[in-house]
Amino acid sequence: MAIVLAVFLGLVASEFYFGKKLGITVYRFRDSASHLAIGLGQQVTNFAVMGLLAAAFAAIQSRFGILRFDETAKWQWAAVILIADFTYYFAHRLGHRVNLFIIPHSVHHQARDYNYISALRLPWMNRVIMFVFYVPLAILGIPPKMMLSAFIANLLVGTFAHNGVIRRRLGFLEYVFVTPRSHFVHHGTTGKYLDRNFGGVFIVWDRIFGTYVDLDEKDPVVLPGAEGEYVLDPVDANFDYLRKVAFVVARRAGFLAKIRTLFDTPETLAHDLARFGFVDGPRSRSPEIARPGDRIRIALAFFAATGVSLTLLNRGSTLPLLAQLAMAVAVFVGSSYIGRLLRRVPAHADGSRETLPAREAA
């Protein structure tokens, strides 16, 4: 854990340094604090469910596995990474086109910046939702160890792809793998960039199925939040899309129509929200008044929540269940507190403009 954290901090530092040299504002205080608070909550939910999900995957694979994979054959490890990424590609597409799966995935796409820290902005129930898509791979017979290699490959490539400085083509890699250039496009919200480049490790799936688009320097990528639709509070962020779906479900007539809402497209949901008079008002439950020391309070709350989270992840399995629950609650309370403070921090506190330069860099 310490090595992983050190490497990640090194990547963030290098990204910040080169961003400064190139005149690009890569990090903003409010955005980064929000991403980190959400990431802490996601790590706690991972701690709570990953053991159960891994055990369930192993049980399904052992009981129903159709094929027998040879863990000594290197080509089969590579094949598993390909199969898992192919599955991820379609799961990711559904996470943009079907309301039920947009509910969790929308958290990641609320980020109005693009960098290594924004890569940590993941929904709290992400692992549970993705497990549904990986059950067929257990039935196929993929062993848990080989599946873990696919997760690691996705994590490594996905993290690198969130580099906020690199926008140039990386030679032949652009034709095979997901890169910072191709994944930056994926976070675009307008025009030809919307709902494109879904690959996790390999970009070839997008090229095969017609969802690939290259970055056009003459057509800037517009990131989420540029028009104010942005959620800083970790709790609000994780329930933002859900409350919109619930609003429509409550107002649709008939049981089947209500259920269909979960499987409709975001365009249909947007139409129904307008039809039923949904007002996406202020999420603040307290006055938007900045107070002296808010940024210090946010930093202290973050370090406290991080300490509890790391203790839970490293030693949680040796602690009584009640202690684990108390620590998990403490992390979520800390994240919520950070969100409440972030709503009070004015936008200009970042000392930068609210838009992210889309020009080619690095």
Distances (CA, A) of 162 to 12, 108, 165, 187: 11, 12, 9, 10
pLDDT of residue 360: 44
Distances (CA, A) of 204 to 5, 43, 136, 197: 31, 30, 22, 9
SS3 string, 159-189, reads HHHCCCCCCCCCCCHHHHECCHHHHHHHCCC
Q: Is 233 helix (H, G, I), strand (E, B) or coil?
A: coil
pLDDT of residue 354: 37
pLDDT of residue 277: 95
pLDDT of residue 288: 47
Provide the strand spans (E) within 50-177. none
DSSP category for residue 358: -
- Over residues 248-307, the pLDDT tens digits come to 999 999 999 999 999 999 999 999 999 999 987 655 444 445 577 888 999 999 999 999
Residues of the chain scoring pLDDT < 50 = 284-288, 351-362
Q: CA-to-CA distance for 110 and 107, rounded, in angstroms?
A: 5
pLDDT of residue 230: 62
- Over residues 200-237, the pLDDT tens digits come to 999 999 999 999 999 999 999 999 875 555 688 999 99
Distances (CA, A) of 109 to 29, 151, 153, 210, 320: 18, 20, 21, 21, 36
pLDDT of residue 274: 96
Question: Which pTM does this prediction carry?
Answer: 0.90
